[in-house]
Structure 1
Amino acid sequence: MAVPAPNHPCWQRLASGGLSKLKTQHLGTQLLTKRIERSADPLPVKAAEIQAFFTKWEKVLPAEVAQLTSL
């Protein structure tokens, strides 16, 4: 499965708390989750950061990418 487009609604859901429901053992993803949870950035900025992360690491995180649209 490919990473959803930047305008897909899943990024807003993930940025507003859905990322904490992601099941992962990948340390980088866990660190991203904590940073996003603590960030005071506006939702669109968080969503863009999450989308950029998964675009970059798509090949390394196939199980996590498969979960994105269902969270």
Structure 2
Amino acid sequence: MSLPAPNHPCWQKLATGALNRLKTQHLGTQLLSKRIERSTDPMDVKVKEIQAFFAKWERALPAEVAQLAAL
């Protein structure tokens, strides 16, 4: 499965709290979730960080990538 398009609404949802609902055992994803939750960065910065993370780790996180569009 491939990543949703950069303009897909799932990225905004992830940046506004849906990242906590992602079912994962991957430590890096869990740490990203906590960092985004506590961040005071603007929404577009959070979205870009999440997109970059999943672009980098797409092959290692197929279960998590499959959940993205459903959030």
Q: Same fold (TM over 0.5)?
A: yes
Aligned position for 1:14: 14
CA distance in 2: counterparts of 1:70 and 1:63, whole angstroms: 12
Task: Find out whether 1:49 has 2:49 as its counterpart.
Answer: yes
Structure 1 stretches of 4+ with a deviation exceeding 6 A read none
For structure 1, which runs of at least 5 residues remain unmatched after alignment? none
CA distance in 1: counterparts of 2:43 and 2:16, whole angstroms: 7
RMSD: 0.6
Shift of 1:23: 0.3
CA distance in 2: counterparts of 1:40 and 1:14, whole angstroms: 15
Aligned position for 1:70: 70
1:20 counterpart letter in structure 2: N
Shift of 1:5: 1.4
For this pair of structures, how many residues does the alignment match?
A: 71
Cα displacement string for residues 4-36 of structure 1 (whole angstroms, at most 9, x for unaligned residues): 111111100100001000000000000000000
CA distance in 2: counterparts of 1:55 and 1:34, whole angstroms: 19
1:16 counterpart letter in structure 2: T
